């Protein structure tokens, strides 16, 4: 499978990342570029997808970057793994729901390697961890599809500052919380990106 794997060591500005993905989308559409899977981290930023509403901003002093991805408001920052992609669904099944299922399976499979059991939820998109009947989101997913090319991506909370979520209603969901992998299981997550990429490519091929 001819996918470029890109890893950025330094934090990438959100706007720069979106600009790069949108340029790549145009090039892929012209058959001039490879598809892309990109692992990175962002500096602190709140982003709002196309279905957010103002009452989900609890702290009106925060700056929100509006985006064209699906979903509502989320937070990105240090300690969180971001996986962006630009993938051509014309080469696969033109099925957005199936593609979302591939992302969900990729995250669930990867966390299983670290002995963390998680699940997807048809009603509330994302990956969830349940402990003593408390349900917390550990990964957020936001995708946009243009000309059957899917882009944007997902984020996994490894060791980011959970207090930042108090300024918003994360992903518009009031009755569930947000958690990090470190809080679920305090261990090293050093190779998480490698395992994630391997699972993602394997699930895309099946």
The answer to whether residue 202 scores a pLDDT higher than 90 is yes
Is residue 162 scored above 70 in pLDDT? yes
pLDDT given at position 123: 85
pLDDT band of 192, cuts 50, 70, 90: very high
Residues linked to residue 127 through DSSP beta bridges, in sequence order? 120, 139
86 to each of 8, 9, 204, how far by Cα in Å? 16, 19, 13
Q: Is 83 a catalytic residue?
A: no
Q: How far apart are CA 94 and CA 144, in angstroms?
A: 14
Residue 186 has pLDDT above 70, yes or no: yes
> Is 20 strand, coil or helix?
helix
Residue of 171, 178, 181, 184 marked catalytic: 171
Number of Cβ within a 10 Å radius of residue 85: 22
Identify the bridge partners of residue 131 per DSSP, sorted by sequence position.
Answer: 134
Does residue 59 carry a pLDDT above 90?
A: yes
Lowest pLDDT segment from 58-67, 140-149, 170-179:
170-179
What mean pLDDT do residues 84-89 have?
Answer: 98
Task: Please give the domain boundaries of the chain with CATH numbers for all domains.
Answer: 3-205 (3.30.930.10)
Checking if the pLDDT of 116 tops 90, the result is yes
Q: Is 31 left (phi over 0), alpha (psi -120 to 50) or beta?
A: left
**120 pLDDT higher than 70:** yes
pLDDT at position 6 is 97
Average model confidence (pLDDT) for the chain?
94
Mean pLDDT of 100-126: 96
- State the pLDDT confidence band at 1, using cuts at 50, 70 and 90: low
Mean pLDDT of 162-191: 92
Q: What is the b/e burial string over 27-59, where b = at least 16 CB atoms within 10 angstroms of the residue's CB?
A: ebbeeeeebbbbbbbbeebbbbbeebeeebbee
Does residue 37 have a pLDDT over 80?
yes
On the question of pLDDT at 68 being above 90, the answer is no
Q: What is the mean pLDDT of residues 116-140?
A: 93
**Model pTM?**
0.95
Mean pLDDT of 99-126: 96
């Amino acid at each position: 499978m001819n996918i470029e794997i890109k890893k950025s060591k330094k934090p990438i500005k959100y706007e720069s990342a979106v600009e790069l993905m949108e340029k790549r989308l145009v090039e892929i559409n012209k058959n001039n570029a490879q598809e892309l899977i990109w692992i990175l981290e962002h500096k602190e930023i709140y982003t709002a997808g196309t279905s957010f509403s103002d009452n989900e901003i609890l702290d009106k002093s925060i700056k929100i970057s509006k985006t064209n991805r699906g979903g509502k408001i989320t937070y990105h920052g240090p300690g969180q793994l971001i996986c962006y992609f630009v993938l051509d669904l014309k080469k696969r099944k033109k099925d957005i729901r199936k593609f979302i299922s591939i992302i969900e399976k990729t995250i669930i499979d990867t966390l299983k390697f670290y002995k963390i059991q998680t699940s997807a939820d048809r009603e509330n998109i994302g990956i969830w961890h349940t402990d003593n009947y408390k349900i917390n989101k550990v990964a957020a997913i936001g995708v946009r599809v243009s000309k059957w090319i899917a882009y944007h991506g997902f984020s996994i909370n490894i060791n980011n500052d959970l207090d930042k979520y108090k300024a918003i209603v994360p992903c518009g969901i009031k009755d569930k919380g947000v958690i990090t992998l470190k809080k679920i299981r305090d261990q090293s997550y050093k190779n998480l990106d490698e395992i994630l990429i391997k699972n993602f490519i394997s699930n895309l091929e099946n």
